[in-house]
Amino acid sequence: MAGLPLLAPHAAPQPMLHVWRGSALGANAELQLHHPDPAEARRLIRDSLDEVARLERQLSLYQPDSALLRLNRDGALAAPPFDLLRLLAEAARFHALTDGAFDVTVQPLWDLYAGHFARAGADPAGPPAEAVAAALDRVGQHRIHLDADQITLRPGTAITLNGIAQGYVTDRVVERLRANGITQALVDMGEARALGGHPMGDAWQVGLEDPAAPGQIAETIPLRNRAVATSGGYGTRFDAAGRFNHIFDPADGRSSWRYAAISVIAPDATTADALSTAFSLLPPERVAELARQAGVTVHVARTDGTRVILA
């Protein structure tokens, strides 16, 4: 799951810039598009939200009876919907690219830590080692079998798409807007992607959140025909002391505090989302190597408060 990009406003509102704000996949969401016809702009916004709703019925962990929830519940899903199948195939590709750091099967670890700290008098040191080991036995990309006719999980395995789905939904909305002739828009369904530039002629401005002061902007970046996603353990902490977060390492089952936050600027939001999640677990030299290989730029917020750019 990512830290939400903060959309930095321009100096003055534009009469042909139409804005919607709401929520998608459990996160704050925003859509800004430039169009001379207000009625057509409203239609395009409704069309975009219909697409988001359609995808939520497939990919959400929060919507009752979504395709993903049924897959996790039953261990198999016959005739899987196209977007779920496509996104799981993308997840497998990012798993291979990142040496296994990106892994959508870490949901058993989420369940373990959330359940542990929800109990009164929970051990502040976290779940016992044997419980972590048992959860890890149910984690691994190899435990998913993908087929056009059926998706199958090995017993005990469950999937979370929180590290990639918001980016994927953002990309699908951008595709629909582009197909309808929109050339200037900023779509943020949990991760942000710019279509063209801002109507005022410059790039869209997106603020990267300060992990030490959530809700505040630490750095503003220009975005034009690119996407940005941020991951950081500060976004979801399981315990009051803040020692345990949702960035799980599939290698050892522990939370990662290697960085305060990682932001990835990429050609599309799916890539930015997945890589920001995976890079949160990898050492800087490997992050830099993979960033060059993937053609992305990485903004690193270190735990000591300093920031660095890797490209």
pLDDT digits (tens, 9 = 90+) for 189-237: 999 999 999 998 899 999 999 999 988 999 999 999 999 999 998 888 9
Q: Exposed, middle or buried: residue 191 (CB in 10 Å: 0-12, 13-18, 19+)? A: buried
Strand partners, 139: none
What is the 3-state composition of the chain as percent helix, strand, coil, each rounded to the nearest 5?
A: 35, 25, 40
pLDDT at 6: 53
Condensed to tens digits (0 to 9), the pLDDT of residues 67-109 reads: 999 999 999 999 999 999 999 999 999 999 999 999 999 999 9
75 domain-assigned: yes
* CA 185/CA 195 separation, integer angstroms: 5
The three-point CA angle 24-29-34 to 5° equals: 125
Cβ atoms 229, 165 nearer than 8 A: no
* pLDDT per residue of the chain (311 residues) written in tens, 0 to 9: 444 455 555 444 566 899 999 998 888 999 999 999 999 999 999 999 999 999 999 999 988 899 999 999 999 999 999 999 999 999 999 999 999 999 999 999 999 999 999 999 999 999 999 999 999 999 999 999 999 999 999 999 999 999 999 999 999 999 999 999 999 999 999 999 999 999 988 999 999 999 999 889 999 999 999 999 999 988 889 998 889 999 999 999 999 899 999 999 999 999 999 999 999 999 999 999 999 999 999 999 999 999 999 97
93 domain-assigned: yes
Backbone angles phi, psi at 301, to 5 degrees: -100, 110
226 domain-assigned: no
* CA 295/CA 303 separation, integer angstroms: 25
139 domain-assigned: yes
273 domain-assigned: no
86 domain-assigned: yes
Task: Report the CATH number at residue 123.
Answer: 1.10.3980.10
101 domain-assigned: yes
User: CB under 8 Å to 252, separation ≥6 — which residues?
Assistant: 132, 136
**Residue 146: in which H helix or E strand, if any?**
strand 144-146
**Dihedral Cα 135, 141, 142, 145, nearest 10 deg:** 110
Task: Write out the binding residues for Mg(2+).
Answer: 163, 273, 277
Strand partners, 146: 151
The alpha-helical segments, DSSP class H, found in 217-281 are: 269-279
Q: How many domains does the chain have?
A: 1
* CA 64/CA 214 separation, integer angstroms: 29
- Specify the amino acid at residue 276: S
The three-point CA angle 175-169-287 to 5° equals: 100
User: CB under 8 Å to 115, separation ≥6 — which residues?
Assistant: none
Q: Exposed, middle or buried: residue 232 (CB in 10 Å: 0-12, 13-18, 19+)? A: buried
pLDDT at 5: 55
pLDDT at 311: 79
* CA 76/CA 61 separation, integer angstroms: 16
104 domain-assigned: yes
pLDDT at 7: 53
Task: Write out the binding residues.
Answer: 163, 273, 277
Instruction: Read off the pTM.
Output: 0.93
93: containing domain: 67-153
For tokens 């300060």, the residue is 210
